[in-house]
Amino acid sequence: MCGLTGFIDFTRSTSEDALREKVGMMAETLRHRGPDDDGAWVDAEAGVALGFRRLSIIDLSAQGHQPMASASNRHVIVFNGEVYNFRDLKGELESAGTRFKGSSDTEVILEAIEAWGLEKAVRRFIGMFAIALWDRHERTLHLVRDRIGVKPLYWGRQGKLLLFGSELKALRAHPDWTPEIDRGALAAYFRHSYVPSPFSIYKGIEKLMPGSIVSIGPDGRETTLTYWSLADVREAGRGDLLDVSDDEAADGLDTLIRESVGLRMISDVPLGAFLSGGIDSSTVVAAMQAQSSRPVRTFTIGFEDDAVNEAQDARRIADHLGTDHTELIVRPAEAREVIPRLAEMYDEPFADASQIPTALVSQLARREVTVSLSGDGGDELFGGYDRYLRGRDLWAALGKIPSPLRPMTAGLLKMVPIPAWNVLFSLMPKRVTPGQEGRTMHWLA
């Protein structure tokens, strides 16, 4: 997973030893992200300090150590994530005369930036990444986040101090920063059940927006560049629609999924997958198994309550695909034990109940593998949340109910207990029932 952090002290009055001590404290808070190695790089004249904790995935040798300097020593990088097409980029750079010391994607990122410039290089990276890059010639810090924002990156200012890191706890470790709750972000959390980008729970600290590069010059001024935009991709697609049959579209999609999953299977450490039995994770695991010479390691947690237990579905998928499957049935007490640790894991308020099973299945998988793929993103990519369509259609009808009558209607719906709704709907033909009938009626209320 890895973790990066650092800061610029624009007073430029802090000694090298003090810079190293402070960034070391910040990096130590990220040990759980990178238990294999750590490093720091400082420039007292510029007031810059970079810190890193490493989880070794590609090139386990010391040649993958970070912070890493480019061959020319112009750029210094700390980088969290993976650039999956690094081998293709490396081959192109080698053909142009670049020589490499190791086999890490970090070194390829650095030399690609040296050869093509930051923006052109980042546009060619296929992967998930958060990058902090210090340009020693321009005395400029560049912060970069991947297209979708898979990898986190927080940054912000307080007085003459600029801080950044993979997690908020790293920023909190700097002795000269005083965190203050942002009441606007808190209000957004109560509305959305999470703190939406670009805000964080702390005043003055932002999440770097996906697909963005922010550059902070020696005078402290910042410029932001959006190198990738989902809105632009959508408009380009609308203007150049594919003229293919359904079968051709399905074959093309299958090819893209296999290529995408295959790139993410590049690893020098044990790799597995979370398997829930749903469409998304099952598709990913199927694509993995089709490209693997041995059974893929899959991991599932289940619950004693059949209403929320997906373990049986996952087991059937695992048997069908022939994976090396591990299943753990979680007792209520084990789930409750996770709750006190959630604030430490997420650093800011987050109200999605999926964080509990996610923590548990991650804990299970870590016993056997270092990297695990999941089905996250499938619903967003393929429009899998039917609640938006249902919500639009429901509002078209409910919006006609006068405002004073809506609370009364909601109260009447909730007066009927969920089991009673289930009994009532059991008397109706299945084709006209909504599924999870009692819960749906209370949700509607």
Q: What is the pLDDT of residues 221-251, one digit of tens each?
A: 999 999 999 999 999 999 999 999 999 999 9
pLDDT tens, residue by residue, 96-109: 999 999 889 999 99
Ranges 151-160, 180-189, 392-401: which has the least confidence? 392-401
Which CATH number, 1.10.10.10, 3.10.20.30, 3.30.1240.10, 3.60.20.10, labels domain 3-230? 3.60.20.10
- Domain spanning 243-379: CATH 3.40.30.10: no
Q: Is-contact 140 216, C-beta < 8 A?
A: yes
Strand partners of residue 214: 143, 224
Residue 4: pLDDT above 70? Answer: yes
Residue 440: pLDDT above 90? Answer: no
**Is the link from the previous residue into 198 a cis peptide, with omega within 30 of 0?**
yes
- Strands 271-274, 297-303: pairing is parallel
Say what the pLDDT of residue 435 is. 63
Residue 148: pLDDT above 70? Answer: yes
* Phi then psi dihedrals of residue 54, to 5 deg: -110, 135
Say what the pLDDT of residue 381 is. 84
Structure tokens at 212: 């963005």
CA dist 276 and 309 (Å) reads 10
Domain ranges of the chain: 3-230, 243-379, 387-444
Q: How many CB atoms lie within 10 A of CB 365?
A: 23
Say what the pLDDT of residue 433 is. 66
Give DSSP secondary structure letters for 276-320.
-SSHHHHHHHHHHHHT-SSPPEEEEEEES-TTT--HHHHHHHHHH
Q: What is the mean pLDDT of residues 153-167?
A: 96
Strand partners of residue 226: 212
Say what the pLDDT of residue 398 is. 82
pLDDT tens, residue by residue, 262-301: 999 988 788 999 999 889 999 999 999 999 999 999 999 9
Ranges 84-98, 227-241, 319-333, 369-383: which has the least confidence? 369-383
pLDDT tens, residue by residue, 19-28: 999 999 999 9
Q: How many CA atoms does the CB half-sphere of 81 hold within 13 Å?
A: 26
Let me know if 29 is a catalytic residue: no
Q: What is the mean pLDDT of residues 407-412?
A: 91
Say what the pLDDT of residue 384 is. 77
262, exposed or middle or buried, with CB in 10 Å at 0-12, 13-18, 19+?
A: middle
Residue 59: pLDDT above 70? Answer: no
Say what the pLDDT of residue 389 is. 80
CA dist 71 and 284 (Å) reads 38
Among all chains, which residue has been given the structure tokens 């490396």?
90
Residue 306: pLDDT above 80? Answer: no
**pLDDT mean across residues, the chain:** 92
Q: What is the mean pLDDT of residues 141-158?
A: 96
Say what the pLDDT of residue 434 is. 64
Q: Is-contact 22 40, C-beta < 8 A?
A: no
Q: What is the pTM of this model?
A: 0.87
Say what the pLDDT of residue 416 is. 93
Predicted confidence band of residue 436 (pLDDT cuts 50, 70, 90): low
Give DSSP secondary structure letters for 196-209.
-TTB-SBTTEEEPP
Q: What percent of the chain is modeled with pLDDT above 70?
A: 98
Say what the pLDDT of residue 89 is. 97
1, 2, 52, 365: the catalytic one is 2
Nearest-10 Cα torsion for 343, 344, 347, 352: -40
Ranges 55-69, 147-161, 320-334, 404-418: which has the least confidence? 55-69
